[in-house]
Structure formats: C-alpha cells, structure tokens
Amino acid sequence: MRRNMPNLADIARMAGVSTATVDRVLHRREGVRQTTVQRVLLAASELKYLPEQDLEAVRLSPPTQLLFVLPDRSSKFLRMLGEWVQCSQTQWAPYNVNCRVQFIQGFDPDAMASALLGRGRGCDGVAFMPLEHPKVREAVDTLANEGVATVTLVSDLSHSRRIAYVGLDNGSAGRTAAYLIARFVGQKRHAKVALIAGSLSYKAHVEREAGFLQLFSEQYPQMQVVGLREGYDDEQVNYRQTRALLEQHPELSAIYNIGGGSEGVGRALKEVGKEHKVVFIGHGLTPDTRAMLIDGTMDAVITQSPQSAIMNCVRIFANLREKRDLSAGVEASRSQVIFRENLP
C-alpha cells in the first residue's frame, strides 16, 4: 500500500502551530514571527512536503530594507556610526535586514526632510539623527502615514511619531560632564567654565546643556559659566571659538564641548600652551579624542558604543516586523566615561 503523502496538518503538528499558520508561511504571507517561520520550514523539510528548492524560495523572504540618515560633516563619531553600518552587513544576516547609509548636509532641515521623504519612502524603516525642526517632524509623520517606521538615533525628536529613540540620556550626560569638571577644577572659587555646542538644533545638545547647568546650579553655584557658543561640530569653527574664549577669558578653567569637533578645541589649547591647564571634557571616543586623552589635552570623554547603537536599531526594526515588543533584546544605552588610564 502506498504511504500517504504529508499534508498541512502533519506539518502543523510537528511544528506545534495551526494549519492556518503553516498555510501563511508556505504562501509567504505576512503576520508570522521569524522563529515560527523557521519551525514550520524545518518541519516541512523533514516531512519532504515540498522539493528543497521550493522550500528555499520560501525561506529566503526579501530582507527588510533599512536606511540610516546621518550628517556628513558632523562629528567623527557619527562618521564611525555610518562606517559601522556599511562594513558590518554580515552581522545583520540573522535579522534578515539590508542596511544602507545616506550622509546629508548637516544642520539643514530641508536636506534632512528631503532625504527622509525621498530615500525613506523606498525603505521599510529609517534610523536618523534628527534636527529639532517642524519640517523634519512633518516628514516623520508623513512616513508614518505611509507605513514607514522611523527610529531616532543619538538625538531625539519632540512630539513626533517615531517608534523609538536609541541613545544616551543626554541630560544625565550633561550632569556627568559638569560633575567631572567641578571635581577636576577643585576648590577654585568662581572658576570660569565655557560650553561649546554642536548646534542647539539638536535636542541632545540642548538636553546636555540643561543637565550641565542644572548640576552647577544645584551643587557648584560658585562656578561661573561664561557663555555658550555653537561650533556646528566643525573642527575649524571650534578652533576659532576656543581661541576667542581664551582671549576673552585668559583665566578660563574648563571647557565642555557638547558636540563633535573636539580636535579643534584641543588645537587651540595647544597653541596657547594651555592644554594641561584648562580642563577639557568632550563626547565621542574617536582616534582624535583618543590621541588627546593620551597626550593629556583632554581629561575625559563621555561616549557610547557605536556598535551597540546600530545593533539596537536593527533589533527594533526586526521586532516591529515580527510583531514583538519593540524593546525585546534591545540593550539599554549606557554612557562610558573614558580617561587616559582606562582607554579600551
């Protein structure tokens, strides 16, 4: 007697799912978690329900298309983020995603909105470092209406329909910088401290400034903040801003660089012979900030792992596709304070 051929019920029984789920998987319809898809395909393969080439076609569902939009002339740390995306495609294979990067002109809301609506519409998800601007917020809302999810990276976007934020608690980062400066400066009365922001168009920089000033107000009221300048994460601009600060306040005790371009600050300090006299705290561990930690120009760098940040974005989009909780498997973003003695 001829043995009965396996059917959907046999596959469902072996995979521990319903026949309706088996049907959705084999016909490549949405709504089934990837882990369940793999169980069904394994059962179908063992039962020899379909030829191997047909099963392989089902198994190789199109990858989720992800786009990372980052400023082009911004900090070297952000360039590292983009390079990590481009050079690590093999790491995304288990998540069945394809990641691309688009660098855009920094601090330009029109360029950012154009990138989101232009390239973003052809993707399944977009991760980006947003400017706090109505045009950017409107672009995010438009993508949400069209079914394209967005994740904010490094800096958040107020009152928007992004699905998640990946980055540090920037208020806490600013407070940490203030605490470090106060401890490094010591008991000097009425010490003058300067702040240089990348741009107050970034919510992250506004929050870092607020946290910094809050801690000084609460615990170190004798410290005098002599003004906030914007350097647009540009090495040359930061160099000029630092030289102007040192000329205006020759007794300056410390500088906190809220954004990128720290190498410009360091160059100005070295030119006037104050690289070991002015306390210098900044953000983002890069080859430049690493070198300044080693030679003593910088005292500390507050940073986060670029690898973890990108991986968290990938996991969030994978969770969205599989209809899991968005935070499943996502690591908490942790700041690290790097000194010369604990350089990784």
pLDDT tens-digit readout, 63-121: 889 999 999 866 788 888 888 888 877 777 778 888 999 999 889 999 999 999 999 99
Entry pTM: 0.83
Average pLDDT over residues 137-146: 97
Q: Are 38 and 5 in contact (CB under 8 A)?
A: no
**pLDDT value for 40:** 87
CA neighbor of 307 nearest in space, from 327, 334, 273? 334
Residue with the bigger pLDDT between 29 and 281: it is 281
pLDDT over 50 (residue 2): no
Residue with the bigger pLDDT between 32 and 148: it is 148
**pLDDT value for 46:** 86
Q: Are 127 and 153 in contact (CB under 8 A)?
A: yes
**pLDDT value for 73:** 62
CA neighbor of 84 nearest in space, from 101, 69, 104, 65? 101
pLDDT over 90 (residue 269): yes
